[in-house]
Amino acid sequence: MGILVLICLVSLFAPVKNVEAETNPFLIDCGTNSSTNVDGRKWVGDLAPDSNLTLSSPGIAASTSTFNGDSTYGTLYKTARLFNEAANYTFKVDSGNCYLRLHFYPFSFENHDVNVSQFDVMANSLKLLSEFSVPVEISRKNSYMQSLGSNSSESSLMKEYFLGVDSGQLVVKFMPTGGSFAFVNAIEVIPVTSQLFVDTVSKVGGNGATSDLNLGARGIETMYRLNVGGSEIEPTQDQDLWRMWETDISYMFASVAGSSINNQSNVTYSSANDSSVAPLLVYETARAMINNEVLEKRFNMSWKFNVDPNFDYIVRLHFCELVFDKPNQRTFRIYINNRTAAENFDVFVRAGGMNKAYHKDYFDLVSPQIDTLWIQLGPETMYGAAGTDALLNGLEIFKLSRSGNLAYVSERFGSSGTEVSARTFRNRILWIGIAAGIASIFILAALFTIFFCLRKRRKNACPTKENPPGWRPLSLHGTVGKSTTNARGSKFSVGSLNLNGSLALVRVGKRFTIAEIRAATKNFDESLVIGVGGFGKVYKGEIEDGTLAAIKRAHPQSEQGLTEFETEIEMLSKLRHRHLVSMIGFCEENNEMILVYEYMANGTLRNHLFGSELPPLTWKQRLEICIGAARGLHYLHTGAERGIIHRDVKTTNILLDENFVAKVADFGLSKTGPALDHTHVSTAVKGSFGYLDPEYFRRQKLTEKSDVYSFGVVLFEAVCARPVINPSLPKDQINLAEWALRWQRQRSLDAITDRCLEGNYCSDSLKKFGEIAEKCLADEGKNRPTMGEVLWHLEYVLQLHEAWLRSNAGEESSSLVAENVEVGDTEVSQNPSVSQDEEHCIELRTEDDGEPLTRQISGLGGTVGFDEFSQLVNPQGR
């Protein structure tokens, strides 16, 4: 029996931490009798003579040699203690609080298969874990992180609890369930002598009311602990309490909404009592609302977390005003799960100055149906757009026990919110494996068939434009058999599962050799570069048969690029349309990522609108181009099997061929919708400022109506011929969408119309055109027209203008009235995606009825966020 060396000088929830307590933590390396030095601390074997703990049963000391990761705790992970029967670790601690951390690293030992291990854990009378499976939990967590767009993949798991102990001892009990075994790799018991929690906490939505939480009698589990806007803080950097602070970026919805700021100087605690609440490092970095004057700050900075339903939570927000040295510079609102937690929040005022570390707790109940917690900081609605901003430095989410229970039996795993228990999950992995196997056999068979048929066809058929020589189906690009296990070399393998991946994609297009590409681009001759972007360079080239091509070559070893490269190939393989830029082929030899597109002789629409020496486009040309682009987008939204959201509609992504036929380009950001996990909709918002749908930010919602919004901006750009964002203009003119909309609402769009058009357009057509653009920019997606409707109305505008041109040319003026507008001439009927049906049910309005068009197509959901992708031609577009 160990000697009691632990002395807690300050008792539970004592108000002041003023004495450096001589409290010794227990740092226990389980499954060994030797001690080891890890993270600057000495970890004692659980059977070592100086461990100072009692172990009720020796269990089995297990060890593994397979751990080869670089985790700080790697050494601890090499051993574990296994229990076939219930067993206790007893730690003598003084009354007070402590952190209990349980470290798990699953490995199988002899005949103990870690995948069947399942157990309960109690701490004194509090249940911490129930029917707990470490591998399932790790895999659930990794899938969750991957669904947030993070590529981290952990092989270990740490659970942290904050407990009150009044009996002089902490008994941690491991109980195998379902005839299996329990295990643990390391245990930390860290006495906490300072006051980390207070009992009275503001209630969310309670209008200033507080809740008495009686935390001393309840247990707390740490769910999340983030250093917002900064980098990871390792336990060694949080000296007294050895907490781990993650980065926040993966949890952020629309990471473009917040930019990180930092200030390493002179940060101090606003209250001396707070010195253990968080290390100062947390306060030295923050995230503030994006510093973009031109974007009206009508959005929130939002973070989204998976939580266990039916528990109480404390959300702790850490703040420190790093920029402003007076009050009223930054006041904002705090929302937790859509309810207001605080209004008029001014960090400077609350903390008592600049560079003062301050935190605030909020209490919220999460009902049984809810498994997410949204934390949002946004503008104070009382104030105008100017001066609003928000700030957050750190964030913690704590789960509180209900009736002596902190355990949550995981019932919420599933790719689309379906409820699957841990056991079903294991079965499911098995089934997915089998299904994937079968699917790959089928796909292979299908590929063989296609390959065979095409070969046969090539023999007899002359090459046509649709079926040029050398085209063949290519590699099978899927995620079959891609393992979720991690790079750290964990031994356990949960199975081959990729929740968001489709099983396989077939790519179509010519596969070029690198030699062919070099020949086409004169060995990537700089004089042939027609565009440069984040992704790489675009060359003009001539491929074998003399066809001109735009050859986009990605920077090698760009991970992000690879995803978008694959997306674009996949998209372009599926999509063929007169108004979409088509892909001729690609090259992936030598790790190259090269896409070969049809060459668009007249470059981007933007180039023809402003900023170049090119002759201005006529109103008719602009209308035809807008119609073409609308047609392409309409096809994307409705023509393919599933709706595709382009996500980056702008004038640099509308290209013009030698006949000024518009084609939509750049599918690197697009993604098909409804088959994807819903959570993907709300991960990262990417796109181009000036064109971004404000609803992205507000409602965490992405639909094809977001493309409609961007297209509305394109329409204004086409008529005003100026950049969508021009910071050199007076503030109210910087953002084209806001500025043009103001003029349009006063029905005076003609006042800001491109001077080059003067006298050469039919004013009725401009009027109607403005109305369409205005409707596209409706604040809410549901009030925006569909692309089909936009297309239809643009056709009408063109006809108005053409009639006007004819009458100006002295021809017999055609009396064009709304009722008998002829839409659907050859152009339309060529395009199967605009059905006659659709046209008939759209009511044509010629009057200023100002009513939104409300016909909607079925809602198609989400998309995955990818980072920037270059423009095909113009590098400066974004």
Ligand X SMILES: *[C@@H]1O[C@H](CO)[C@@H](O)[C@H](O)[C@H]1NC(C)=O
Positions touching ligand X (CB under 6 A) are 298-300, 335, 338, 376, 378-379, 698
The helix-helix angle for 787-808 and 619-634 (nearest 10°) equals 160
Provide the minimum distance between the beta carbon of 339 and ligand X in the complex, in angstroms, as a whole number.
7
Give how far Cα 279 sits from Cα of 234, 240, 270, Å.
11, 9, 13
Contact 488, 66 (CB under 8 A): no
Q: What angle do CA 332, 393, 248 make, to 5 degrees?
A: 110
Residue 60 · residue 108 · CB < 8 Å: no
User: What's the rounded Cα separation, in Å, for the pair 479 and 497?
Assistant: 8
Compute φ and ψ for 118, nearest 5 degrees.
-155, 135
Strand partners, 538: 531, 552
User: What dihedral angle (degrees, nearest 10) is formed by the CA atoms of 658, 662, 666, 671?
Assistant: -150
User: What's the maximum distance between 2 C-alpha atoms anywhere in the chain?
Assistant: 109
Beta-sheet pairing, 583-587 with 504-511: parallel
Q: Is 283 exposed, middle or buried (0-12, 13-18, 19+ CB in 10 A)?
A: buried
* CA nearest to 682, candidates 250, 106, 346: 250
DSSP character at residue 48: S
Q: Which residues pair with 342 in a beta bridge?
A: 334
Report, in Å, the least distance between residue 338 CB and ligand X: 4
179: CB partners within 8 A, 6+ apart: none
Handedness of CA 812, 817, 818, 820 (dihedral sign): negative
Q: How far apart are CA 560 and CA 145, in angstroms?
A: 17
User: DSSP 3-state assignment of 57?
Assistant: coil
Q: How many CB atoms lie within 10 A of CB 394?
A: 28
Sheet holding 472-478, edge to edge: 472-478, 504-511, 583-587, 594-598, 548-554, 536-542, 529-532
- In whole angstroms, give the CA distance from residue 317 to residue 393: 8
* Residue 95 backbone zone (phi > 0: left; psi -120 to 50: alpha; other: beta): beta
Identify the active-site residue in 389, 648, 666, 677. Answer: 648
**191 near 93, Cβ under 8 Å?**
yes
Angle formed by the axes of helices 704-720 and 619-634, to 10°? Answer: 170
648 carries an active-site annotation: yes
Nearer to ligand X, 214 or 367 (CB): 367
In what helix (H) or strand (E) does residue 772 lie, and over which residues does it extend?
helix 763-776
What amino acid is encoded at 803 in this protein?
A
- In whole angstroms, the minimum distance from the beta carbon of 377 to ligand X comes to 8
Q: How far is the CB of 849 from ligand X (least distance, A)?
A: 29
Q: Kindly report the CA angle at 217 between 215 and 221, in degrees rounded to 5?
A: 60
Strand, helix or coil at 794? helix
3-state DSSP assignment of residue 755: helix
d(CA 320, CA 270): 9
Say how far apart CA 129 and CA 157 lie, in whole Å: 13
First to last CA, the chain: 68
For the beta sheet containing 391-392, the strands, ordered from the edge strand earlier in sequence to the opposite edge, are 258-262, 285-289, 391-392
Torsion of CA 15, 18, 19, 21, to 10 degrees: 50
- Cα–Cα distance measured from residue 675 to residue 691, given in angstroms and rounded to the nearest whole number: 26
Instruction: Look up residue 280 and give its DSSP letter.
Output: H
CA dist., res. 436 & res. 853, Å (int): 44
* Catalytic residue ranges: 648
